[in-house]
A and B are shown apart, each in its own frame.
With several copies, the nearest count.
Chain A
């Protein structure tokens, strides 16, 4: 049901996405721990293999592209922990997904408050 809402530009993480993205999200959940973040940084491929990521998910992780990660089943709450590894904030990933520069994305936020 929820997955068929089709709200423009708005992913909905329902059962289909939960199934598709399980391995990817489980890996990202592990990034709550610094030791795991460090292990990923030291050996990305080995770490992804440990979590049985699909090829699509591995490519999405390699791309650092949030829309691609969402398409591969990623949930933004867990993806935020992946982004954190690179010091990326929710504004950085907002800019990336909207195709705006970071400054333009921030200005867009300010404008909506006026």
Chain B
């Protein structure tokens, strides 16, 4: 049985890539965000996960409006990052785990999720930057499974549907016969808005509420309609869906190992959260 050892949620704004490229990690503007990854690095060094399941939203690199999936899952042995048009460095290709991808797809379709399975899938900054933050040398020690949630074209799936998606991913991972240690990522958010005369909107109160609820009462977040989330968190605040799905995939008792909130990074309420998942936590408690 595979072992879901924890969940990591982080903002993924493209300018993180620019800051890394320019070596600005200790610049006061960026330092609180990058410092959050000290805890993550310690966790990764201790736990050495084998697989990262990355739940994120594609920003117009792999999917276009010609055929826009609600939920898509990569099923390849390799995922390439690529130019997104604004000059952040392209990262080395990521190893996939096609057998696990197909297992997840089988399990989700069996659970009445209508997945788009992708044997070709470019991964954008929302996938690549969190992994670069986790592994700054870009020598990826994990195999990966990309899972995207439509955040571009309404209708978007509801928070409740994304929570259920996450739960179904969690069940799929628990039924995987391999022995891999798996970490689940949710990337995006928190509050931000890029478009319209409300551009630049950030809602610190709501972000802090989300950071609490996602750990201690995630079901509370599934009560919000998409309209409410956009009102409260801005039009791109819907990326919260990826956090909710990540949290849904943690099936056991969850403990918070780290939480950072820092405003702004770029136009965004920057946040990093590390959660340990129950089976592992229990095992350590018993040691």
Touching chains A and B, CB distance < 8 Å: yes
A interface residues with partner B (beta carbon < 8 Å)? 1-3, 5, 7-16, 18-19, 22, 25-26, 28-29, 31-34, 37, 66-67, 70, 75-81, 83-85, 87, 89-91, 93-94, 97-99, 105, 108-110, 112-113
Select from chain B the residue with minimum beta-carbon distance to A21.
B65
Q: Nearest Cβ distance between residue B236 and chain A, in whole angstroms? A: 8
Cα(A83)–Cα(B262), bound, Å = 26
Which of B59, B119, B264, B267 has a CB less than 8 Å from the CB of A18? Answer: B119
Select from chain B the residue with minimum beta-carbon distance to A77.
B60
**Contact in complex: B227, A5 (CB < 8 Å):** yes
Binary interface encoding of chain B residues 86-108 relative to chain A, with 1 for a CB under 8 A from any of its CBs, else 0: 11000000000011011101100
Interface of A: prevailing SS: helix
Cα(A67)–Cα(B199), bound, Å = 11
Given known pairs A77-B60, A113-B202, the reply for A98 and B197 (CB within 8 Å) is: yes
Select from chain B the residue with minimum beta-carbon distance to A6.
B227
Which of B60, B197, B227, B230 has a CB less than 8 Å from the CB of A78? Answer: B60
Q: Which 3 A/B pairs are nearest by Cβ-Cβ distance? A: A113-B263, A15-B102, A9-B198
Q: Does B134 contact A (CB under 8 A)?
A: no
B interface residues with partner A (beta carbon < 8 Å)? 13-15, 59-61, 64-66, 75, 77, 82-87, 98-99, 101-103, 105-106, 110, 117, 119, 152-156, 193-204, 226-227, 230-231, 234-236, 262-264, 266-267, 269
Knowing that A8-B197, A109-B264 touch, tell me 6 more A-B residue pairs with CB under 8 angstroms. Answer: A5-B230, A13-B153, A70-B195, A76-B236, A79-B195, A81-B86
The interface residues of chain B lying within 8 Å CB-to-CB of A109 are 200, 202, 263-264, 267
The interface residues of chain A lying within 8 Å CB-to-CB of B105 are 15
Q: Nearest Cβ distance between residue A47 and chain B, in whole angstroms? A: 14
